[in-house]
Amino acid sequence: EPEVTQTPSHQVTQMGQEVILRCVPISNHLYFYWYRQILGQKVEFLVSFYNNEISEKSEIFDDQFSVERPDGSNFTLKIRSTKLEDSAMYFCASSELLPSTDTQYFGPGTRLTVL
Amino acid sequence: GENVEQHPSTLSVQEGDSAVIKCTYSDSASNYFPWYKQELGKGPQLIIDIRSNVGEKKDQRIAVTLNKTAKHFSLHITETQPEDSAVYFCAANGGTGFQKLVFGTGTRLLVSP
């Protein structure tokens, strides 16, 4: 069964450093998302991406964040200057059709630790 | 925007018992309600979903009910097994055109043998 994959599984970085989290969505899916989950809290939406542009973003997704689909398979989340409060699990998800009513499949996540 | 409340935060049952988790949502435009199961160290896995044109959906031991008037939906797990132990999240989509899922706060289900 096709699945969303994410690398790395765990990323440790120093405050102020840039990090790039990588995702490979399911191959025939058209919509891509990033969510984050601070330890013990609920999953929060960050951004959705379709047709090579951001289609919706949350208040969390400020100028420090960016997303990119550099090739036909990868989808990346970049945090330019990490802060302690960016420490969280980051989940990539993808859906095939209209995201408002279609299933979003989640990857296993990247645990980001900012020291 | 949409807000989803989920109860209880923890639920302990004996193997074979039923478990019920309840969620309420605020935006009447929401029309898609998935449930995800999250095991320790893993990403959320979809277990069942329901759209606003139906009131109930069942898949083996799992069922979801939706009351649009009251704006609440529930997950029912029958004949629980230890492997059902996990954190369960409900979510709502905020209606057509909204692309994000808004998640509830999660329910930690513990099924004791």
Three-state secondary structure string covering chain A: CCCCEEECCEEEECCCCCEEEEEECCCCCCEEEEEEECCCCCCEEEEEEECCEEEEECCCCCCCEEEECCCCCCEEEEECCCCHHHCEEEEEEEECCCCCCCCCEECCCEEEEEC
How many whole angstroms separate alpha carbon B30 and alpha carbon B18? Answer: 28
Q: From chain A, pick out residues whose CB is under 8 angstroms from the CB of B31.
A: 100-101
How many whole angstroms separate alpha carbon B73 and alpha carbon B65? Answer: 5
Q: Which residue of A has its CA nearest to B40?
A: A108
Q: What pLDDT, on the 0 to 100 scale, is given for residue A1?
A: 75
Is residue A101 less than 8 Å (CB to CB) from chain B?
yes
% of chain B at pLDDT higher than 90: 78
Q: Which residue of A has its CA nearest to B4?
A: A42
pLDDT tens figures, A52-65: 999 899 999 999 99
Q: pLDDT band for position A96 (50/70/90)?
A: confident
Report whether pLDDT(A98) > 70. no
Segment (H or E) for B63: strand B62-67
Best CA proximity match to B28, nearest among B66, B75, B80, B81: B66
Higher-scoring residue by pLDDT: B8, A99? B8
Average pLDDT over residues A65-89: 94
pLDDT tens for the 113 residues of chain B, in order: 889 999 999 999 999 999 999 999 999 989 889 999 999 888 899 999 998 888 899 999 999 999 999 999 999 999 999 999 999 999 998 766 667 899 999 999 999 99
Q: Residue A103 and residue B89: Cβ atoms within 8 Å? A: no
Q: Residue B95 and residue A44: Cβ atoms within 8 Å? A: no
Looking at this protein, which amino acid is placed at residue A55?
S
Q: From chain B, pick out residues whose CB is under 8 angstroms from the CB of A35.
A: 101
Q: Out of A4, A48, A101, whose CB is closest to B100?
A: A48
How many whole angstroms separate alpha carbon A18 and alpha carbon B79? Answer: 48
A-B contacts at Cβ under 8 angstroms: 64
pLDDT tens figures, A13-55: 999 999 999 999 998 898 999 999 998 888 999 999 988 999 8
Q: What pLDDT, on the 0 to 100 scale, is given for residue B94?
A: 77
In chain B, what is the straight-line distance between the N-terminal and C-terminal CA atoms, in Å? 41
Q: Out of A31, A58, A108, whose CB is closest to B43?
A: A108
Report whether pLDDT(A101) > 70. no
A93–chain B nearest CA distance, Å: 10
Q: Residue A56 and residue B101: Cβ atoms within 8 Å? A: no
Q: From chain A, pick out residues whose CB is under 8 angstroms from the CB of B95.
A: 100
